[in-house]
Structure 1
Amino acid sequence: MGIVASQSFKNIISTYLGFFIGAINTLFLYTEFLSDDYYGMVGYMLSLAYVIMPIMAFGMHNTLVKFYSTFKTRISLNSFLTLMLVLPLCVIIPLILIIYVSYDSIVGFLSNKNEIIKGYLWHTVIIAVALAYFEVFFAWAKVQMQTVFGNFMKEVFHRVGAMILLFLLHFEAINLEQFMGGLVVVYVLRMLVMNVFAFSVKLPVIIFKRVPNLSNILKYSFLIIIAGSIATILLDVDKVMIGQFVEIKEIAYYSVAIYIASVIAVPQRSMHQILLPLSAKYLNEKDFESLEDLYKRSSLNLFIVGGFIFLLIVLNINQLYYIIPEEFTGGLFVVFMISFTKLYDNALGSNNAILFNSDYYRVVLVLGVFLVIAMIILNIIFIPMLGINGAGIATFIAVFSYNSIKLFFVYKKFKMFPFTTSTLRIGMLLLASVLLFYFWEFPFHPIINIGLKSLLITVLYIFVVYRFNFSEDISLLIKKYLKLK
Structure 2
Amino acid sequence: MTACFAPTYSFTHSLIHSLGIVQRQGLRNTVISYLGLALGFVSTTLVLPRFFAPGQLGLTGTLASLATLFAQVAAFGFASVGIRFFPYFRNRENGHHGFLPFLLGIPLLGFAVMTVLYLAGRPLVLGFYNAPDAALLDTYYVWGAVFALFTLLYSLLDAYLKALYHTAFSSFLQDILLRLLILGGALLFAQGLLSFHGYVLWYIGVNGVLVLVLAGYLLHIGELHWRPQRAVLAVRPVRELFSMGAFTLLGSLAGSIIMYIDTIMVGSQVNLAAAGIYGIAFNISTALAIPARSLNKIAFPLLADYWKEQNLTGMADFYRRTTRLNALIGCFLALGIGLNLDFIYSLMRAEYAQGTLVVLLLLGSRLFDGITGLNGLILITSPRYRFDLVFNVSLALLIVGLNLLLIPRLGMVGAAVAAVAAQVSINLARTWFVWRSFQMQPFTWRIPLILAITAAAGAAGYLVPAVGSPMLTMLVRSTVITAVYGGLVLATGTAPEAGALLATLRKRLGW
Normalized against structure 1, the TM-score is what?
0.86
Residue 164 of structure 1 is aligned with which of 184, 190, 197?
184
Shift of 1:335: 1.0
State the distance in 1 between where 2:125 and 2:454 align: 47
Change (3 A) 1:40 1:294: same
Paired residue secondary structure (1:443)? coil
**Equivalent residues of 1:143, 1:277 under 8 A apart:** no
**Equivalent residues of 1:56, 1:91 under 8 A apart:** yes
| 1:321 corresponding residue in structure 2 | 345
Please list the CA deviations of residues 149-185 of structure 1 after superposition, one character each: whole Å capped at 9, or x if unmatched. 3333222222111110011111122222221111111
State the distance in 1 between where 2:178 and 2:76 align: 23
Normalized against structure 2, the TM-score is what?
0.82
Amino acid at match of 1:158: L
| 2:123 corresponding residue in structure 1 | 105
| 1:238 corresponding residue in structure 2 | 262
| 2:435 corresponding residue in structure 1 | 411
1:391 aligns with 2:415: yes
| 1:374 corresponding residue in structure 2 | 398
Change (3 A) 1:304 1:109: same
Deviates more, 1:285-294 or 1:26-35: 285-294
State the distance in 2 between where 1:286 and 1:263 align: 35
| 1:272 corresponding residue in structure 2 | 296
Gaps of 5+ in 1: none
1:55 aligns with 2:79: no
Paired residue secondary structure (2:426)? helix
Shift of 1:128: 2.8
1:26 aligns with 2:50: no
Amino acid at match of 1:156: I
Change (3 A) 1:224 1:287: farther
**Equivalent residues of 1:299, 1:419 under 8 A apart:** yes
| 2:13 corresponding residue in structure 1 | none
Residue 229 of structure 1 is aligned with which of 233, 247, 253?
253
State the distance in 2 between where 1:8 and 1:483 align: 30
Shift of 1:8: 5.5
State the distance in 1 between where 2:388 and 2:52 align: 41
Residue 147 of structure 2 is aligned with which of 112, 122, 127?
127
State the distance in 1 between where 2:262 and 2:233 align: 43
Shift of 1:344: 1.9
State the distance in 1 between where 2:465 and 2:422 align: 34
Paired residue secondary structure (1:210)? helix
Residue 192 of structure 1 is aligned with which of 203, 212, 215?
212
Root mean square deviation, CA, Å: 3.4
State the distance in 2 between where 1:95 and 1:373 align: 22
**Equivalent residues of 1:65, 1:139 under 8 A apart:** yes
Shift of 1:14: 2.5
1:96 aligns with 2:120: no
**Equivalent residues of 2:335, 2:458 under 8 A apart:** yes
State the distance in 1 between where 2:505 and 2:144 align: 43
1:295 aligns with 2:319: yes
Amino acid at match of 1:54: Q
State the distance in 2 between where 1:194 and 1:353 align: 28
Deviates more, 1:183-192 or 1:257-266: 183-192
Amino acid at match of 1:34: F
Gaps of 5+ in 2: 1-18
Please list the CA deviations of residues 49-71 of structure 1 after superposition, one character each: whole Å capped at 9, or x if unmatched. 233343233223334445566x5
Please list the CA deviations of residues 1-32 of structure 1 after superposition, one character each: whole Å capped at 9, or x if unmatched. 33448766644443233233223332332223
Change (3 A) 1:294 1:176: same
State the distance in 2 between where 1:273 and 1:203 align: 25
Shift of 1:303: 2.3
**Equivalent residues of 1:323, 1:446 under 8 A apart:** no
Amino acid at match of 1:109: G
Paired residue secondary structure (2:66)? helix
State the distance in 2 between where 1:290 and 1:213 align: 37
**Equivalent residues of 2:147, 2:204 under 8 A apart:** yes
Shift of 1:222: 1.3
Percentage of pairs with the same residue:
23
Change (3 A) 1:247 1:99: closer
| 2:6 corresponding residue in structure 1 | none
Change (3 A) 1:14 1:368: closer
Shift of 1:398: 1.4
State the distance in 2 between where 1:482 and 1:53 align: 53
| 2:158 corresponding residue in structure 1 | 138
Deviates more, 1:38-47 or 1:371-380: 371-380
State the distance in 2 between where 1:406 and 1:80 align: 40
Deviates more, 1:386-395 or 1:116-125: 116-125
Change (3 A) 1:456 1:376: same
**Equivalent residues of 2:46, 2:347 under 8 A apart:** no
Amino acid at match of 1:307: C
| 1:178 corresponding residue in structure 2 | 198
Shift of 1:470: 3.7
Change (3 A) 1:61 1:461: farther
Shift of 1:481: 9.2
For 1:471-482, what aligned pairs fall within 5 Å after superposition?
471=495
Change (3 A) 1:436 1:8: farther
Amino acid at match of 2:136: I
**Equivalent residues of 1:11, 1:271 under 8 A apart:** no
Please list the CA deviations of residues 386-443 of structure 1 after superposition, one character each: whole Å capped at 9, or x if unmatched. 1111111111111222222222222233333233333333233222222332243342
